[in-house]
Amino acid sequence: MAQHALSTPFGTFGAPPDVVAWVALAVGLLATLALRKQVCTRAEDLARRNPRACVTLLALMALGLSAGYVGYYLRGGPRIIDATSYWLESRSFVAGAFDFAVPGSEASFSGRFLVPTTPVRLAGIFPPGYPAAIAIYKAIGIPMWLGPSLAACIVALTYGCARRLFPTDTNIATWAALLSVLSAALRYHTADTMSHGFCAVLWLALVYCTLNAWAASTRRAAMGWLGGAGLCLGWLLATRPFTALAAALSLWLLRRAWVASRERPVEAARGAMRTWPLWLGVGALPGVGFWLWHQAATSGSLFGSSQLVYYALSDGPPGCFGYGLGARGCLYEHGDFVRNQLPHGFGVWQLLATTGRRLKAHLVDAGNLELFTLAVPWLVWRGRRSATTHFLAGTILLQV
């Protein structure tokens, strides 16, 4: 951070701290100077006439920016402890197991986010969905290209979903895709080996496949798209289970938005639409099975939790890790925070305060500038009669 930066409730402002920030500032100034009405109109016309070229260009920009983040900021490899833990899990997967052999005394190798499966083997505690994706890229020798690939997918899927939700206005899809390119948060989460960017791809793909299923011209095509949506939901559950629950709930809002739109399926696809939850569930079975298999291998119980096992062994007091209100907060890993913010446990006030702090941290992203974000409640109110607005606003709340 710059030495003489100005800290305000709306972010920190000061001289750019490195060459990347200087380049971003220069590009931003040039873009601002070029943003005349005629230029914007011409750009929108080009995007409307050549949507495939537009999406391809934006996807390549996202891929390049995330690859640059990997090279410049991460120096070519994972950095924070969570990212390196996912990386270690993926190495075990490539070797054909959920755990790995300890080459010496277990005490010399036991560390954060690792649990013993046998006296001489350790396993990572994170769900297996994202490590499996890294393992695929490891197997072909390009593991750090997974993130940039996800960045490109986010752009393409964002555009595709917006086109389905707003079929009469191509500009909405173009701007949505552009904003996904400009998000600094997405650049990080499609660079370091963290699961958030992968979850974004799976959630978007779930929505995109479901929308295509409901718009399909034949029952067979609809069932195929729903099977693909189910695979995405299952893989999301095997990556972040509670995110998958939120994504599944968002589909009910999506269904209302679709029914309220002018598009209707042909008669051949109506049967698949009536039974879409069933086909979605069938498609999700491989991911669910993979997740349960991993839990059984790492916790010793099919419906166990490797994370609960880890915190029971490595932290305290007993029961400090878990979901819901009550006596939460592990003193070894987050001692200072627990003592300062959760002295009497995790109650409603602590829940709201913690959520507020996390939202504030995300809002300093230049793509989510607080002043810009203040417009969102107004836009939701303005479109309060639209089922599509209900879906978009509800999805944001479900993620929070």
159: which 2 tokens? 């555009």
Quick check: 3 pLDDT over 70?
A: no
Quick check: 350 pLDDT over 80?
A: yes
Q: What is the pTM of this model?
A: 0.90
Quick check: 234 pLDDT over 70?
A: yes
The predicted pLDDT at position 42 comes to 77
Q: Which of 176, 178, 191 is nearest to 31 (CA)?
A: 178
Most confident of 14-18, 108-112, 143-147, 354-358: 143-147
For CA atoms 200, 57, 363, 1, give the dihedral sign: positive
Quick check: 190 pLDDT over 90?
A: yes
The predicted pLDDT at position 107 comes to 64
Q: Which of 237, 257, 259 is nearest to 248 (CA)?
A: 237
- Residue entry with tokens 């994504």: 247
Q: Are 221 and 269 in contact (CB under 8 A)?
A: yes
Quick check: 160 pLDDT over 80?
A: yes
Report helix, strand or coil for 121.
strand
Residue 235 to residue 291: CA distance in whole angstroms: 9
The predicted pLDDT at position 9 comes to 65
Query: What is the average per-residue pLDDT within 182-192?
Result: 90
C-alpha distances (whole Å) from 354 to each of 206, 292, 343, 346, 351 are 29, 30, 14, 10, 5
Q: Which of 249, 251, 245, 246 is nearest to 229 (CA)?
A: 251
The predicted pLDDT at position 120 comes to 85
The predicted pLDDT at position 264 comes to 53
**pLDDT tens-digit series, residues 28-56:** 888 887 777 777 777 778 878 888 999 99
Q: Are 62 and 69 in contact (CB under 8 A)?
A: no
Give 104 or 89, the one with higher predicted confidence. 89
**pLDDT tens-digit series, residues 352-393:** 888 888 777 777 665 556 666 777 888 888 888 888 888 988
**pLDDT tens-digit series, residues 285-335:** 999 999 999 999 999 888 888 888 888 888 878 887 878 777 888 887 777
For CA atoms 198, 203, 206, 211, give the dihedral sign: negative
C-alpha distances (whole Å) from 389 to each of 237, 370, 378 are 26, 20, 12
Query: What is the average per-residue pLDDT within 275-279?
Result: 84
Query: What is the average per-residue pLDDT within 69-92?
Result: 94
The predicted pLDDT at position 58 comes to 96
% of the chain at pLDDT higher than 70: 91
Average pLDDT of the chain? 86
The predicted pLDDT at position 248 comes to 94
Give 133 or 301, the one with higher predicted confidence. 133
The predicted pLDDT at position 163 comes to 92
Which amino acid does the sequence have at 226?
L
Report helix, strand or coil for 287.
helix
237: which 2 tokens? 């559950």
Quick check: 70 pLDDT over 90?
A: yes
The predicted pLDDT at position 45 comes to 80
